[in-house]
Amino acid sequence: MMNLDLSQAKIAVIGSGTMGIGIAQLAIVNGHSTILYDLDREKTQQAVDGLHQTFAKLTEKGKLTSEQAQQALSRLTIADQIEALASVDLVIEAVVEKLEVKQSLFKQLATICNDQTILASNTSSISVTAIASAVPHPERVVGLHFFNPAPVMKLVEIVQGLKTTEVLCQSLRTLMLAWNKIPVLTKSTPGFIVNRIARPFYAEAFRALQEQVTTYDQLDYALKQCGGFAMGPCELTDLIGQDVNFSVTQSVYEAFFYEPRYRPSLIQKELVDAGTWGRKSKQGFYRYDEKNQYVTFQPQLITAPSFHADVQVQGTWAQCPHLLERLGLSRALASNENIIQIDDVDLRLSQGESVNIDYPNRKTVLMDWHHHFEQAQAVVLSHNHLCQADDLATVEDFFAQSQIKVLWISDHPALLTLRTIVLLINEACEASLHGVASMEDIDNAMKYGVNYPKGPYQWMMQLGAEYVLATLNNLYAIYGEEKYRASLYLKQYVAKQQCIRADYSKDLKAFA
């Protein structure tokens, strides 16, 4: 299997559902002679008819010429019998997500196709190693996980089973680049990259709801406004389907031998048990009308005619560039702590503390991280038990001077956005520790697979690895739970950076 050239590969797609017909569309648009096979001939014909309509719409929009559409469709044939796939170079299956079904299918293909035929599975969660275990020449079995809708979504996870050759993975990577996709290479571990690393985005949101910190709509608003996410976790799981998302979480949890980081949520289980699965049932966290519209949260801006509090600033606020400028504050004097003192209230950027446990003797407000303070519309804050109503009003007035709304939540270590992001970073570090994928591929997977505004490692560079580690250590100290334990990979990374800085400092002194 050396020097595989798949640019003219003859392709077969098995399964004519949404994913299968989408993959077939990609193949024929990119010049490949393609066979579509499904046990249900009527379903297959309906899928092909739908593809003709799709091409007609693309032609109307000017994305394809009539000639291009006709040529692409001429490359597609429907097979009535699986034996028609005997001469293809690459088979991509997109059938039901059951290990025994995929194993049986690939065993059958192994008797029909030659030993060099590549057998690729579009599985999103099943072990490629397990699929390949029942197949002769398992080195040619690989995962090729497209994201829905396949013609639109850029990301493709190329999943290497235990016996899959590196040459095959690299050859498929070249093919996917030719298809204008963003391919990432990953080992065959539970959840691969995206479905593994994304777990904290949902888990920490549901935990905040279970601990009665805030409401589902305020939570979604906070993650969108402060984190820059396209959708909040409650909106997104309603869109995916609460039953589907819960099932994925369960499968990852079980596949990792009940690792606490992936434990499913009782909040979500309650929705699933009630049949409130989201948009498809017209009720999940939100209620949906016939157009799938729903009511979202918008905080009110409290306008203050004047503001007279005494404000003092300490620290560099390095994790929040432009914050001081946006608030109209001068650069602070050097300090080990970042504090904006508003009369006798200390406003601090959260670093994973509990505002009540860690600051019991002084009026303190903790602020959540914001991805872009220049354009911030709101901040998320929590306060300790010493703060009175007039203190909170003063803090609200302080932010109102800069047209920033305040969203108060209960005491919740690392609040909402910061907590979510540091745990996404930690999960990425665990994946790196186990050699699942490269840092670059992890970042690309999360940006293009689930549309995150940044990849986990880009966030880590922005926040600073030491700050991320300190936040996780505080969370772990407060909860005492393994799910908040900082990854060894992150600890080693921080230690290495500190060593580099120390050596650099010595060199500067020697040069001076």
Q: Looking at the annotation, which residues are catalytic?
A: 124, 145, 157, 195
> How many residues appear in the chain?
512
Q: Which residue bears the tokens 């790196």?
A: 432
144 neighbors 172 (Cβ within 8 angstroms) = yes
Distance (Å, rounded) from C-alpha 505 to C-alpha 3? 48
Token code pair at residue 75:
């490359």
Handedness of CA 365, 371, 373, 376 (dihedral sign): negative
71 neighbors 48 (Cβ within 8 angstroms) = no
Distance (Å, rounded) from C-alpha 9 to C-alpha 144? 15
129 neighbors 153 (Cβ within 8 angstroms) = no
143 neighbors 188 (Cβ within 8 angstroms) = yes
31 neighbors 75 (Cβ within 8 angstroms) = yes
Tell me the CA distances in angstroms from 65 to 22, 57, 169, one per residue in order.
Answer: 19, 11, 33
Long-range pairs of 113-116 with CB within 8 A, sequence gap ≥ 24: 113/85, 113/86, 113/87, 113/88, 114/86, 115/140, 116/1, 116/89, 116/140
Half-sphere CA count of 138, side-chain side, radius 13 A: 14
Q: What's the angle, vertex CA 440, arms to CA 438 and CA 446, rounded to 5?
A: 100
Phi-psi region of 190 (alpha: psi -120 to 50; beta: other; left: phi over 0): beta
Q: What secondary structure, in 3-state letters, does 50-95 show?
A: HHHHHHHHHHHCCCCCHHHHHHHHHCEEEECCHHHHCCCCEEEECC
Nearest to 381 by CA among 401, 397, 396: 396
Token code pair at residue 43:
């379903």
Token code pair at residue 59:
């032609």
